[in-house]
Structure 1
Amino acid sequence: MDGKEPEMEFNLLDEPWIIVKTKTNETKTWSILELFEHAHEAQELAGELPTQDIAIMRLLLAIMHGAFVTDEIETADDAIDLWTSMWEEKQFRFDEIKAYLEPYHDRFWLFHPTQPFYQSAHIKQNMDAYKAAKGKKVSSEIKWKTVARLVGDLFQSDNAPRLFPVRTGEAQNCLTYAEAARWLLHLNGFDDDSAKMPTPKGVGYLGQLGLIYAKGRNLFETLMLNFILVDERNEVFADNEENSKAYWEKPVCETIEREIPQPRAQKDLLTMQSRRIFLHREQGMVTGYLLTMGDYFAKDASLLNEVMTVWKRDDTRDFAPRRHQLESQMWRDLSSLLGMKIKNDDKARQPGIIHWLQLLEDAAEAIRFDVELFHICVTGASYDLKGAGWQIVDYVQDDLTINASLLAKMNEIWIQEIIDVLEKTKKAINSFGYFVTDIAEGSGDSMQKSNQIQKRELAKFAQEDGYYHLDQSFRRWLLCINPEKDNLEERTVEWLHIAKQTLLQLAQEELDRCSETAIVGRVKDGTVQNAIKSFREFQYRIKKALG
């Protein structure tokens, strides 16, 4: 735009921009081609945020779908055969990836006169045309957004800078090309829906999901485990069809605000353009950007082709993506995580990645699948309503390790029993919350009907404290379960005992530090209510819940 820089600069296939952690715990920066050539030598992606890593991972997965899924992959057996042959080689077929990407080399220039990567070269003209059509004032001046708003770990606005930013001084005013490339993908996936022209139809696509993925013993394994080739019906995704194309395989779309049908092809969905963006560079650095609305799905779109999200029941769509809760450990929602039904609930939907891992585990002996533990990870952005729209306030990241055989079809009864045990644990923790509010009432704290909000908040705080004290115990207990060696009843009794003893100990501590007023108690509805009585009632409730 300014004519001062080379027309084409910084090709993402050749230039280093993806941060990885090596097996020796060093960090290195690789290009796309370097990463595929050496993925087996790295532990994991190691960018600035987990959400940035998942945005980059989805780009890499789209390349894999484009490179390896041919029209010969027609059935689930074909897909498993392809996947198995790649897995057994323990590193990527680099020549095939390089050959696939070579014709699209020009589509990976971060700066290009007509087709910059993941950007819209004519965004200013398109925005002006949109404004003119709406009768809005059009200015010849370009108002660049500062890069401080591009960087996801700052999450600040031009008018309200963050008090303690990660980047300070001049580092807030410019980005290297490598940094800008990483945050470009992040912005496309997780941008908020605050005021823009036009007003976005929600946050970025990835921000709408409860993202879930599997982590392997190295980066090659991580990418392979998430290289999902079939849907929940075991039908092959249409990545080889003529109209199924990744971002770089089709012409750049300059249309602002475009509703699109959800693609069945994974490489299409993995490279969805939620926003139209254009980076501004000066003297070899990115100093600003332009941003507007991009592609979006209809409000009633099912999104069922998405394989990297957990699900919830939805009245209009049957199922909808379920965002992760910032304060909630992932094991607390194991039923949604694994797509298993809770008693008295006849519907559940399994995340695509879990279904895929289950397929691999069921075929483990035949395909020599040698993974003993599955590391299941979740990530996502947490948004809060501020002013006219939703803005990012924090990020979610958690992981859980389970024995791989737990996902085998023959062991579904184990998963169901674990979920039932968690429901019992939830009831016991709720009882702990009620006990703490009873203590507060006995102490004379204001807990009248006019203060029910305070009472609920106190109960919630106590319940979160209960989950906190059970967190590491549950993770260790789940990790140690091996359905091929363990007894189901013995294992469930073991957890119920751990949960009961932990919560009783917490309740005893509450009792020990309560006031003398609470011990003496007071008359409520004609009966004496005191801390001792509340403790005994809690003991009864927890034994009823946990046995």
Structure 2
Amino acid sequence: MTTDSPPQFDLVEQPWLPCTMLDGSVTELSLGEVFERSRQIRRISGELPTQDYALLRVLLVIFWRAHRDDPGLVGPGADVDEWWEDAFDAAGGETQVQRIRAYLEQWRHRFDLFDAAAPFMQVADLHTKKGEHGGVRRLLTDAESDYLSVRAGVSFDALGFAEAARWLVHVQAWDYSGIKSGAEGDPRVKGGKGYPIGTGWVGSTGGVVLHGRTLAETLVLNTAPHAVIAEREEEDLPAWEQEPHNAAPRGVEFPTGPCDVLTWQSRRVRLFPDDDRVTGVLVSNGDRIETKNQFADPMTAYRYSRNQSSKARTVHMPQQHDAARTLWRGLTPLLVREGVLQEAPRELQPKPPATIAWLHTVRHDRALPQDHLVGVELVGMVYGTQSSSVADTVHETLTVRLGTLMSKDSRTAKAIVDAGRATTEAAVDLGRYAGRLLQATGGEYAFQPHRTEGILHRLDAPFKDWLSEIDENSDPVVQRGRWFGLVERVVLEEAAVLQKGAGPKAVVGRMVQDAKGRPHLISSATAEGALRADLRQHLPGEPLPDATAATDTPTEGEDQ
């Protein structure tokens, strides 16, 4: 039975954040406990990687706001490099915990999930003209479609308060576009419907997280100091420091800074509790966000958009992850800097996430642990037609050394970017080779994309191992050459397997005509010769040049 007064669920004191501890155990902790025990926590571990990312962003904003008046960042004698290095050395220490504890106490009234006036990330009296709302399934990205759900056998009728809080944060970050319930008080509603304003902000980005050995280190690694000392610091407020929202949009589409964008309320939401469970939810349109030249988010890269740029205005858009080749195509925007890429005509370089760009600039006034292993996590969402449904999630992890990310020598970053690009090209070469074998056995030439994807999958783990071994003392020419040699060997091994499977017909081959009508023999031998020539071109042994052209467009011939 529904009670007359709403229940209370204090996110500062009540456990709701699933955490994997250093000993491998998983436990739910409150906001206060997460920060107090951050040295004992490996990472946030919710139901989905996209949920973990959304929750971590809330923790980061709390961390930033708690340090907004730190003397090391503001006032006479402030030194951001020294502040960051001190914060990394003392990650999770008592001084940081005290600041965060004081901040959470100051804003505790805004972290109640069912506060009568300003419930956390919700609108207290949100309602439709007919007073209708939906079931909790509306919050669950992996449950709205029975075909995508991993929750078989689990009831969709109600959620515990802790789980509801996690999915509330998730829906604000990642919710799909499409028609929403029309909330009373929203002037945009027509005929009881809220028409599409786009996905949640995070859904238009490619999330990048730097993971340390503990959550305490992770918080610092994902802190570019400008996130704490934004130019308009007093205006850059997270959702819980702003005036409580109502059904109407705020009337702003550009965030004032990182704290604003990381907690951007793309939806107006209201949870409906019944005793100790949430049994209903209303999700309506919130604040639309402009995606062009919106650089406030420090956890995504930005790509140059030639189609949307003009002579009068250069436009960059958030760089989303490629679902098919997340690892291989995701390297360039992470490591780009001067000397790594030579932009193609009419193109501008992508902008790396501000968190990584910051590491490129940190002074080495003291000996930071350059061989420290840092996990890089890529998180994204793939939407369906007109972004009105969720089709899939994107998730990839790799490990690099802190010294690689902080290196002032662009040749190391270039060697890594070259390795990823060349590996993709070599995989495409194998797809072409398979198409030529098909032609040699009597069929028509057709590029074989599954051979390309298969070899990339096979090279995934070895590449991650190779990447984790590179440090600031590595010779980039030697390292790149070592990787190219492995790629060539693996591709040729796979080619030999394909050649054997093609049988005697491919060995004999047949005469075919090229594009100009000239006859030539196509056989397993000529196909192998072409493959080896392609590999020599794409896996060169010469020293690294100063710059190299790179693009995320398909390699020529891939779609022949």
Bin of the TM-score, shorter chain as denominator length: 0.7 to 0.9
SS in 2 for 1:230: helix
CA contact (8 A) 1:40 1:219 kept: yes
Residue aligning to 1:121: 124
Q: Offset at 1:342?
A: 2.7
Residue aligning to 2:458: 469
Residue aligning to 2:532: 539
Q: Which runs of 5+ in 2 are unaligned?
A: 181-192, 309-313, 514-518, 541-560
Q: Offset at 1:96?
A: 1.9
The structure with more helix, counted as a fraction of residues: 1
Residue aligning to 1:450: none
CA contact (8 A) 2:123 2:247 kept: no
CA contact (8 A) 1:192 1:392 kept: yes
1:352 maps to a residue whose letter is A
| Same amino acid, percent of matched pairs | 25
Instruction: Classify 1:252/1:164 alpha carbon distance in 2 versus 1 (closer, same or farther; 3 Å).
Output: closer
Residue aligning to 2:283: 291
Q: Which runs of 5+ in 1 are unaligned?
A: 129-139, 157-161, 448-454
Q: Offset at 1:466?
A: 2.0
CA distance in 1, matches of 2:201, 2:161: 24
Residue aligning to 2:438: 440
Q: Offset at 1:373?
A: 2.2
CA distance in 1, matches of 2:288, 2:147: 33
Matches within 5 A, 1:32-111: 32-70=31-69, 72=71, 73-74=73-74, 78-92=79-93, 93-111=96-114
Residue aligning to 2:156: 172
Q: Offset at 1:203?
A: 0.9
Matches within 5 A, 1:69-468: 69-70=68-69, 72=71, 73-74=73-74, 78-92=79-93, 93-124=96-127, 127-128=128-129, 140-142=130-132, 144-156=133-145, 162-163=146-147, 165-169=149-153, 171-196=155-180, 197-230=193-226, 236-238=229-231, 240-241=233-234, 243-298=235-290, 301-315=292-306, 316=308, 317-340=314-337, 341-345=340-344, 347-360=349-362, 362-363=363-364, 365-366=365-366, 368=368, 372-385=372-385, 389-447=387-445, 455-456=446-447, 458=448, 460-468=449-457
Q: Deviations over 1:444-484 (max 9, x none)?
A: 3355xxxxxxx35x2x2221112112212221222112232
Instruction: Classify 1:289/1:35 alpha carbon distance in 2 versus 1 (closer, same or farther; 3 Å).
Output: same
CA contact (8 A) 2:303 2:349 kept: no
Instruction: Classify 1:8/1:286 alpha carbon distance in 2 versus 1 (closer, same or farther; 3 Å).
Output: closer
Instruction: Classify 1:479/1:3 alpha carbon distance in 2 versus 1 (closer, same or farther; 3 Å).
Output: closer
CA distance in 1, matches of 2:18, 2:387: 32
User: What is the RMSD of the two structures over their aligned residues, measured on CA atoms?
Assistant: 2.4
CA contact (8 A) 1:310 1:337 kept: yes
CA distance in 2, matches of 1:103, 1:14: 14
CA contact (8 A) 1:5 1:283 kept: no
1:107 maps to a residue whose letter is R
Q: Deviations over 1:128-167 (max 9, x none)?
A: 3xxxxxxxxxxx341x2221231223242xxxxx147332
Q: Offset at 1:424?
A: 3.1
CA contact (8 A) 2:293 2:317 kept: yes
Q: Deviations over 1:291-334 (max 9, x none)?
A: 111112235x3111211012222133532111112221424431
Residue aligning to 1:132: none
SS in 2 for 1:513: helix
CA distance in 2, matches of 1:114, 1:427: 57
Q: Offset at 1:81?
A: 3.3
Q: 1:511 and 2:499 equivalent?
A: yes
Instruction: Classify 1:370/1:336 alpha carbon distance in 2 versus 1 (closer, same or farther; 3 Å).
Output: closer
- Mean Cα displacement is larger for which, 412-421 or 69-78? 69-78
CA distance in 1, matches of 2:253, 2:387: 25
Q: Offset at 1:380?
A: 1.5
CA distance in 2, matches of 1:169, 1:428: 44
Instruction: Classify 1:5/1:222 alpha carbon distance in 2 versus 1 (closer, same or farther; 3 Å).
Output: farther
Q: Offset at 1:389?
A: 4.3
- Mean Cα displacement is larger for which, 6-15 or 80-89? 80-89
Q: Offset at 1:262?
A: 2.4
CA contact (8 A) 2:61 2:262 kept: yes
1:508 maps to a residue whose letter is A
Q: 1:530 and 2:533 equivalent?
A: no
- Mean Cα displacement is larger for which, 270-279 or 144-153? 144-153
Residue aligning to 2:13: 14
CA distance in 2, matches of 1:393, 1:164: 8
Q: Offset at 1:272?
A: 0.8
CA contact (8 A) 2:370 2:472 kept: no
CA distance in 2, matches of 1:261, 1:406: 36
SS in 1 for 2:196: coil
Instruction: Classify 1:164/1:378 alpha carbon distance in 2 versus 1 (closer, same or farther; 3 Å).
Output: closer
SS in 2 for 1:349: coil
Residue aligning to 1:131: none
Q: Deviations over 1:25-44 (max 9, x none)?
A: 11111111111111111111
CA contact (8 A) 1:377 1:399 kept: yes
1:212 maps to a residue whose letter is V
Per the normalisation by structure 2, the TM-score is: 0.85
- Mean Cα displacement is larger for which, 328-337 or 112-121? 328-337
1:375 maps to a residue whose letter is G
Residue aligning to 1:25: 24
Residue aligning to 2:472: 483
Q: Deviations over 1:257-302 (max 9, x none)?
A: 4552423432222211011111111121111200111112235x31
SS in 1 for 2:358: helix
Per the normalisation by structure 1, the TM-score is: 0.87
CA contact (8 A) 2:113 2:165 kept: yes
CA distance in 2, matches of 1:13, 1:539: 61
Q: Offset at 1:505?
A: 0.9
1:398 maps to a residue whose letter is E
CA distance in 2, matches of 1:167, 1:425: 37
SS in 1 for 2:465: helix
Q: Deviations over 1:371-417 (max 9, x none)?
A: 622221111112121xx643112211111212222233432112113
